[in-house]
Amino acid sequence: MKPELNPPVAARETAPEISGVLLIDKPAGMTSHDVVAAVRRILHIRQVGHFGTLDPFATGVLPLSIGKATRFAQFYLKSRKAYQGTIRFGVSTDTYDATGEKTSPPADCHPSAGDIERVFREFTGRIRQTPPPFSAKRVKGVRAYELARRHEPVKLEPVEVEIYALELQKLEGPEARFAVECSGGTYVRSLAHDVGGKLGCPAHLSSLRRTAVAEFKEDRATGLDELQRMAKEGRAAHVLIPLEALLPECPALVVRGREETGVRHGQAFELAQAQRADRGLRPGQAGHTPALALLKVLNAERRLIAVARHVAGNVYHPDLVLV
């Protein structure tokens, strides 16, 4: 772990090296980078990252990687995410959310619950979605939001995303409360804007809360004030999710001796027959289980030392080695 630049003397002498994932309940008004900076100050650790940003006006689950966990971002940036939000019908904005400037005069439109649910079904599954003009997407090397702020034309190409579930929870006047589960890279702001377009009614996203990212749920999230209090009491490490608990759907393989040494040196290895996913099937028997894409590799003390990726046959290569 890299030491903090010019940390306080007490922190330099006493702060232990910690690694894991910290779930922060992000408040409205802060950027994800603001939260990262705050956690660095609270924990006196420079090596803090995140597994995907949240818009400043949004709240909820923001997984932060601490120490060696920063190297796991590659496995989570496109993870499944869950949100609860509110669509406000009757006016559209340039940001597609409540922070933007109005782009339409107020419209007196009140779509029915049945109409909204019908359109929600049209947006469920794999869809092509155009990111909002105010987004971090690049246009010829320039962030789209920079062009939008200068009132320059922003042309973004649609991308494929997946909406796993989209449910209307409550309709009250011009506001529709909904829950959505979607693939990484989905813009819920664009979803709200596009739903309004399908209904022939201008709309924008008036509130948004992220309730889950992959296996990380909001019931384990900690507020910044609570983290500050726990840090002062020397208990901040207690809320970290350890490295061994990451990628819970990924099987674990325990190695010892020379095998462990080889993995730590980044050497490819072959699974024994007893460890193969298709064990128990006769040669040539149809319907065998495909090779596992990833394996978590643990040492004899059950500490995570690597994540290995399937190469071919029974061969795996330790792509991520924790040394």
Q: Which residues are catalytic?
A: 55
CA distance 47 to 40: 8
Inter-CA distances, 118 with 60, 127, 201, Å: 28, 15, 15
Short-list 1, 16, 15, 22, CA closest to 241:
22
Measure the CA–CA gap between 270 and 268, rounded to whole angstroms.
Answer: 7
Classify residue 155 as left (phi > 0), alpha (psi -120 to 50) or beta.
beta
In angstroms, rounded to a whole number, what is the distance separating the alpha carbons of residues 193 and 131?
A: 10
Measured between alpha carbons, how far is 183 from 189 in angstroms, rounded to an integer? 14
Count of other CB atoms within 10 angstroms of residue 126: 9
Q: Which of 297, 257, 260 is nearest to 275 (CA)?
A: 297
Phi first, then psi: what are they for 162, rounded to 5°? -130, 130
